[in-house]
């Protein structure tokens, strides 16, 4: 199950530096967090999770395989992108293909690095991109509603639902707000997602600050934090300059460098985890002598569907899931101890998988 996060930003805000550092860091990491380049602008990155190492140590697993997230470096944004300016059409098409947006904002002062608008105002930068996405959505909605007229005259129920949702989105956009603020009922959720509107994508703001501001941030990042909170979005503070330096170091050297900077962990690790949380994902584990592996699922996933992430046959023939909570697995020093302590549970088809569950699936072939 692949999840994609698109990295966007105006020119000279540190977007490409962030992406390049992300890929280099991932490539330099140990086997726990491997990286591979799918295309020049796509990076498949392991999600850092200390729990996986602890599970593998207890089970003496030969291999550790983290869950993954794909980052897409989306280029071509300028003002007027919604009308095809610059690489606007390509930019908008790439946005449609991702599950969420990581918006890199310039929160650093540097006279040697020019800003496309000749100012440092991350909130205004965010509004520029949001406006382009909103304009593109409005144009798309108008065309799609026009194409539904014939089906609406024929009382097509699917067309009626689609037109109603498009109208709600249009009204929200015309009020100057993104379509993600539309309240959607459960019965409309699937149809709503199929509309693939750009402004329904959740947003993570990445505040790129100067090296000396990487711990506490600055006034610019504080302004972004306030904006994000008001919108119900998330933000994370990183210094792309520091991350680029870290990406060139060996693991032990990187740890020492971070300690000297007063940082508990790399900013890119926080970015990856924040993206994971933004997409409302969680992790369950399969653990054994051969491998300890993390698997990505959406929050609220039932056991059979979680099994299906491993293989479709697991879901089709699902019988039950032998389940141990992560804390119990650690406290009991593994599967055998958990069994003896009565901490292994047999869960059926209605079980809602919890983050950190260690699971073994039984199924009919």
Q: List, as residue ranges, the binding site.
A: 12-17
d(CA 268, CA 137): 31
Q: How far apart are CA 176 and CA 127, in angstroms?
A: 11
The annotation places the binding site for ATP at: 12-17
Tracing tokens 């599950």 back to the chain, one arrives at 99
Q: Which is nearest to 101 in space by CA: 77, 82, 66?
A: 77
The SS3 assignment for 294 reads: strand
* Residue 107 DSSP one-character state: -
Nearest to 86 by CA among 75, 96, 94, 95: 75
Question: The sheet that has 63-65: what strands, in order across it?
Answer: 63-65, 291-298, 281-287, 358-363, 318-324, 345-347
CA-CA distance, 208 to 284, in Å (whole number)? 32
């Amino acid at each position: 199950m692949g999840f994609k996060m698109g990295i966007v930003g105006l020119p000279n805000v540190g977007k490409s530096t962030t992406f390049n550092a992300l890929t280099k860091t991932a490539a330099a990491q140990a086997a726990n967090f491997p990286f591979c380049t799918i295309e020049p602008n796509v990076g498949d990155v392991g999600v850092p999770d200390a729990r996986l190492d602890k599970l593998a140590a207890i089970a003496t697993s030969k291999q550790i395989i983290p869950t993954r997230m794909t980052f897409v470096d989306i280029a071509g944004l300028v003002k007027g992108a919604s009308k095809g300016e610059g690489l606007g059409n390509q930019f908008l098409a790439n946005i449609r293909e991702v599950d969420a947006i990581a918006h890199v904002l310039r929160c650093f002062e540097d006279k040697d690095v020019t800003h496309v608008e000749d100012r440092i105002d991350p909130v205004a930068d965010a509004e520029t991109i949001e406006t382009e996405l909103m304009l593109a959505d409005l144009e798309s909605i108008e065309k799609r509603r026009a194409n539904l007229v014939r089906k609406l005259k024929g009382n097509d129920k699917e067309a009626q639902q689609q037109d109603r949702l498009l109208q709600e989105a249009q009204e929200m956009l015309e009020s100057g707000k993104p379509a993600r603020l539309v309240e959607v009922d459960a019965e409309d959720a699937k149809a709503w997602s199929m509309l693939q509107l750009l402004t329904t994508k959740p947003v993570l703001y990445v505040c790129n600050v100067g090296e000396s501001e990487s711990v506490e941030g600055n006034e610019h990042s504080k302004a972004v934090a306030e904006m994000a909170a008001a919108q119900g979005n998330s933000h994370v503070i990183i210094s792309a300059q520091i991350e680029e330096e870290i990406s060139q170091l060996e693991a032990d050297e990187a740890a020492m460098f971070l300690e000297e900077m007063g940082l508990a962990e790399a900013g890119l690790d926080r970015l990856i985890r924040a993206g994971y949380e933004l997409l409302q994902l969680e992790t369950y584990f399969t653990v054994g002598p051969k491998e300890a592996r993390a698997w990505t699922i959406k929050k609220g996933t039932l056991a059979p569907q979680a099994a299906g992430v491993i293989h479709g046959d697991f879901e089709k023939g699902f019988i039950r899931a032998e389940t141990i909570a992560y804390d119990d697995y650690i406290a009991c020093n593994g599967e055998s101890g958990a069994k003896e302590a009565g901490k292994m549970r047999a869960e059926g088809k209605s079980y809602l998988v919890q983050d950190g569950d260690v699971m073994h699936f039984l199924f009919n072939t």
